[in-house]
Amino acid sequence: MIKIIYNKERYIFTIGLLVVLTAMLPYLILGENMIVFYPDQLDGEVLSYILHAKYLFTGIDTYPEMMNGISENGLFPPAPLIVLLYKILRPSVAFVCNQIFCMVVAYIGMYFCIKTTVNNSMIAAFCGILFAYLPLLSVYGLCQYGLPLLCYNFYLLYKGKRKVLALSGVIFYGLMSSLVLIGYGVLGFGVLYLLWLAWKKQAMCHKWVWIGWLSLLCSYLATNYKLLLQIFGIGGQKPSYKEVIVRYGQNVINAFRTVFYEGTIHTPTHQKGIVVITIVVLVFGICGYRRLQGRLRRTFCLLAAGFGFNLFCALFYAFYQSDFIANLRNQAGGIIKEFQADRIYWLTVFVWYFLLGLDLYLIWKWTIHSVKNKKIVCIAAGSIFLSGVVFVSAATVYYYSDFSKNLHRLRQGESYARVTWNDFYAPEIFSQIDSFIGREKSSYRTLSFGIYPAIALYNGFYCLDGYSNNYDLAYLYTFREIIEGELEKEESLRKYYDEWGCRCYVLSAELGINNYLVHKGAGSKEIDLALNTDAAKKLGAQYLFSAVKISNAKELGMTLLREAPFETSDSYYAIYLYELGTV
C-alpha cells in the first residue's frame, strides 16, 4: 500500500514537471522570434551577462564597449553563476536555458514546500506549476524562482536531514541570486529566526540552520566583495552617480495596494484572487477555530502567519515609499539613501502561492468533512468554491504567462504585435550598418536615439550611452553636456536625468520619458533635436543611430549618410545613420 502511494506521488510530481517543461516548446519552435518582456531584461541585464562572459577569466575589470569604459561593478550581474551560460552559449540560447532552469527549480521547490506542509501531492504539483509559470524576470536568476527551494533546504537543515544536499542548495542559491536585490532580505529575516532560536534556547539543537545561514552569507560575500568595497568606500573607488539621486515619495495607499493586491513589474504575482480567497478562508477559520485540530490547526496558523508576513512587507514598502522617509533618506545621504530596503516585498511572491496551496488544502478538508457529516449545502458550496479557486488561479497565471504570449505568436505569427528578441536587437539591420560603415567597431564610438543603446551594444558596437545603476558620477555630468539643450526644454526630463540618471541616453523632450523604442511606422515624423555635437565628438562619438529622422541635422553638423533608412521588411524599426565627424 505504501509503495502504491509513493508511486502515485511520484507520477503526480513527474506529470507536473512535464507540464512545466512544456513551456520550452514555443521557445524551441520560435527561436529568436520568441516574445520576451524586454524592460530590465533585454535593455540591461542581458548585456551585463554578455560583457561579463566576454571578459570572464581575463582579469579585465573595465569594459570599453559602454560609456567609454565602465567598471564591472557598473554592470554587475544579478545572478553571477549565469555568466557561465552566456560564456558557452549564444545569448538567446543562454536566456532560454536559464528561463527553463529557473522554472524547473521553482516547480520543484514549491512542490516540496507544500507537499511537506499539507501532504497532498495534487495541491503541491498544481501550485508548483502556477508558480513556475509566473512571468517573473529570469535575468534575476533564482532571486524569486528559487525561494521555495531555499526554504525547503533550510527546513531540511532544521530537521538535520540530507545536510550536504541542503547546504549545497543554499550555496547554489547564493551564487544564482543577488545580494542587493533580495539576498539582504533573506539574510535579515534569517538573523531574526536565529535570534528566536537562541531566545528559545534551541540554537545548539539546530546548529545546521546556523551553518546554512553562514554558508549563504559567505557565498554572497565571495561573489559581491568588489561591490561591497565600493559601497563602503574602500579601495579608492570612484564616486557613483547614485550620490546625486533624489528620492521622491509615493502615495502610501497606492503603494500598499500595488504590492499587496496587484504586484509590480518586478513581482508580477497577479495575486488579487489569492488575497480574496485567503481572507475568506481566514474568516471561516477564525469562526471555527476551536474545532480545528492537528494538521488543520497547524495549517491554518501557518496561513495566518504567511498572510501577516505579506501584510507586513506591503505596509513596510508603503511606509518606506512615503514622503517622510524619502526626505529622511535624502537628508542622510550615502548608503542610507541608496539602500532600497523596501525590496523585501520580493519575498512575498513565493509566499502568495504557498498560501494558495494552504487555502486549497483547508477548503478541500472542510469539504470532505461536510461529506462525512452529510451537509449537502456545505458540500455544494465547498465544491463550487474549490473548483472556482482552481480555475481562476490557473486561468490568471496562464493569461499573464510568457507561455501564453508565445503560443499566440505561434498561432498568429507577426500579426501578434509583441516585441520579440529579434525585433528588439535587430541583428540584420545592424549587420547592414556595420557593412556600410566598413570599419573595425572598436575604432569609433556611437550614440543611439529612438532606440535603446543596448541594441547597438548587443550587436558589437562601442556605445557612449547606456543603462547602468552604478556608473561614475563624473560621466553623468560629462554626458549631460550632449543633451543639455533637450533637458532645458522640459523640467520633468531634466529631473529624470539629473535626479535619477540610470539611463545615460540621448533624451528628447518631444519623445518624452520612457519612449526608447520608436516603431518605424511612427518614425516617419521628423524631430528637431537640441544636441551638442561638439560635446559628443569630444567623447569620441562619430555616428548616431536614430529611429527618427532629425530635421535639423545639418544645423547640428551631422551628415545623413544614406537617405533611405536601414531596415528589413519585417523589422520593428528603421535606422537612420548620421555621421558626426571628428573634433
For the cut 70, the answer to whether the pLDDT of residue 6 exceeds it is: no
What are the backbone angles phi and psi of residue 269, rounded to the nearest 5°?
-80, -30
Over residues 42-59, the mean pLDDT reads: 92
**What strands lie across the sheet with 541-546, from one edge to the other?**
445-449, 541-546, 576-579, 559-560
**pLDDT for res 190:** 93
Q: What is the mean pLDDT of the chain?
A: 90
**pLDDT for res 47:** 94
Strands 62-63 and 70-71: antiparallel
Q: Which are the contacts of 168, defined by CB distance < 8 A and separation ≥ 6?
A: none
All three cell numbers of 486, joined, read: 533637450
Q: How far apart are CA 237 and CA 240, in angstroms?
A: 9
Could you read off the pLDDT of 422-451 as tens digits, one per residue? 999 999 999 999 999 999 999 999 999 999
Could you read off the pLDDT of 511-554 as tens digits, one per residue? 888 888 898 876 567 889 999 999 999 999 999 999 999 999 99
pLDDT range class, residue 72, cuts 50, 70, 90: confident
Number of H helices, E strands in the chain: 25, 8
Please say whether the beta carbons of 348 and 314 come within 8 A: yes
- Choice between 238 and 134, residue whose per-residue pLDDT is larger: 134
Pick the range with the lowest mean pLDDT from 71-75, 173-177, 475-479.
71-75
**pLDDT for res 373:** 67
For the cut 90, the answer to whether the pLDDT of residue 367 exceeds it is: no
For the cut 50, the answer to whether the pLDDT of residue 402 exceeds it is: yes
pLDDT range class, residue 14, cuts 50, 70, 90: very high
Q: Cell match 556600410: residue?
A: 436
Q: How far apart are CA 161 and CA 149, in angstroms?
A: 15
Rank 166-180, 386-400, 490-504, 522-536 by mean pLDDT and report only the highest.
166-180
Beta bridge partner(s), residue 566: 575
For the cut 50, the answer to whether the pLDDT of residue 5 exceeds it is: no
All three cell numbers of 510, joined, read: 518631444
Integer-rounded Cα radius of gyration of the chain = 26
For the cut 50, the answer to whether the pLDDT of residue 248 exceeds it is: yes
pTM (2 d.p.) = 0.93
DSSP 35: B
pLDDT range class, residue 501, cuts 50, 70, 90: confident
Q: Identify the sign of the CA torsion 309, 217, 49, 540.
A: positive
What are the backbone angles phi and psi of residue 279, rounded to the nearest 5°?
-65, -40
Q: How far apart are CA 474 and CA 476, in angstroms?
A: 5
What are the backbone angles phi and psi of residue 547, rounded to the nearest 5°?
-85, 0
For residue 488, the one-letter residue type is: E
Could you read off the pLDDT of 315-346 as tens digits, one per residue? 999 999 999 999 998 888 878 888 888 899 99
Over residues 272-289, the mean pLDDT reads: 91
For the packed helices 91-118 and 294-320, what is the interaxial angle rounded to 10 degrees?
A: 130
Please say whether the beta carbons of 271 and 263 come within 8 A: yes
Q: How far apart are CA 512 and CA 508, in angstroms?
A: 6
**pLDDT for res 540:** 92
For the cut 80, the answer to whether the pLDDT of residue 233 exceeds it is: no
Please say whether the beta carbons of 267 and 322 come within 8 A: no
Q: How far apart are CA 173 and CA 215, in angstroms?
A: 10
**pLDDT for res 150:** 97
SS3 57: coil
**pLDDT for res 559:** 93
Q: Identify the sign of the CA torsion 13, 14, 15, 19.
A: positive
Over residues 40-69, the mean pLDDT reads: 92
Over residues 459-465, the mean pLDDT reads: 95
